[in-house]
Amino acid sequence: MSELKNDRYLRALLGESVDVTPVWMMRQAGRYLPEYKATRAQAGDFMSLCRNTELACEVTLQPLRRFPLDAAILFSDILTIPDAMGLGLYFAQGEGPKFERPLRSAKQVRDLGIPDPELELSYVTDAVRMIRRELKGEVPLIGFSGSPWTLATYMVEGGATKSFSEIKKMGFSDAPTLHLLLDKLADSVISYLNAQVEAGAQSLMIFDTWGGVLSPHDYQDFSLQYMQKIVSGLKREYDGRKIPVTLFTKNGGQWLEKIAATGCDALGVDWTTDIGEARRRVGDKVALQGNMDPSMLYASPAAIKAEVQRILASYGHGNGHVFNLGHGIHPDVDPEHAGVFINAVHEFSGQYHV
């Protein structure tokens, strides 16, 4: 594998010194880019885009052609594992992901198999291999998965939800079944992410999008313990290089110390937690990723620059910061504003690394 020309993202995750704060954006390959929309139209639909190795590679690289980003992230979806488990994933127009066969019984959960990432999910590992090749060592490639709890919410609810009533019903009335599901998902995520590493991913991220809907006790029980299991089962070194692991629980700011104790290398922090406060709480135990409100990209360029400066100042001097949005970039954001954001991070952060 080629040596990296820009490894500041990996160095920051490992707490090593960098010249400027590295930056990438959640959903940086996506609907805010006209070139992405054109490629998706060519693919026909979202999952066809994910399953087409050449097109998945193309949309992964598109934001890097526009912006001086410090990392690429595999273009895929968090629901690839549930899809490979045979739940009948489809995308309803304007409604997001849905499953034809949501899990509602213990027997359904018992019957689930663990997908083989090089068989049922080979389109993902094939995309990783092609993206690594096409990146030519310019920046590192991030592989990712959804957390077991987040995947389970879609699988039990049958799609997106605001109430989480079906998954919580299962958790509170039939906890053994939910724990069996979460355990199978943890095993699936471990093999899936390790396969991504073997295919060429140089860093891993676990998106716990819905962990924040749980009480503190239930978060530990239904979400964190399974992310802990995953962290313990991942390849942390490959091809002579450490593979940093980032955990991100949206609305999980109250649990940063507990997440940091899993043994991960970095925590994603959303905009509801001040990043300076987060740093004071976890010290140098882990790196921090975040955490500008994605809606700030609707603001004027001057306001975007000011907010970048405020967050950099809040984090302060030293290493261990990867700048990002606190969640995914919104589809109707002007790409020029994304460019202002990315350039501002590089422009104003050097003073914090002297």
Task: Detail the residues annotated as belonging to a binding site for substrate.
Answer: 27-31, 77, 154, 209, 327
Q: Which residues are annotated as a binding site?
A: 27-31, 77, 154, 209, 327
Spot the catalytic one: 40, 66, 129, 281.
Answer: 40
Q: Is 126 one of the catalytic residues?
A: no
Tell me the C-alpha to C-alpha distance, in Å, between residue 14 and each of 8, 144, 313, 340.
Answer: 10, 18, 21, 27
Residue 301 to residue 343: CA distance in whole angstroms: 11
Spot the catalytic one: 9, 36, 154, 219.
Answer: 154
Spot the catalytic one: 7, 70, 77, 126.
Answer: 77
Whether the CA torsion 121, 127, 64, 320 is positive or negative: it is positive
Q: Is 8 one of the catalytic residues?
A: no
Spot the catalytic one: 7, 9, 11, 27.
Answer: 27
Find out whether the peptide bond into 319 is cis, omega within 30 degrees of 0.
no
Token digits for 73?
A: 């992230």
Q: Which residues pair with 141 in a beta bridge?
A: 72
Q: Is 281 one of the catalytic residues?
A: no
Residue 241 to residue 263: CA distance in whole angstroms: 17
Spot the catalytic one: 31, 129, 236, 281.
Answer: 31
Residue 246 to residue 106: CA distance in whole angstroms: 32
35, with CB counted inside 10 A (0-12, 13-18, 19+), is middle
Looking at residue 292, what DSSP letter applies? B
Q: Is 51 one of the catalytic residues?
A: no
Q: Is 239 one of the catalytic residues?
A: no
Report the catalytic residues: 27, 31, 40, 77, 154
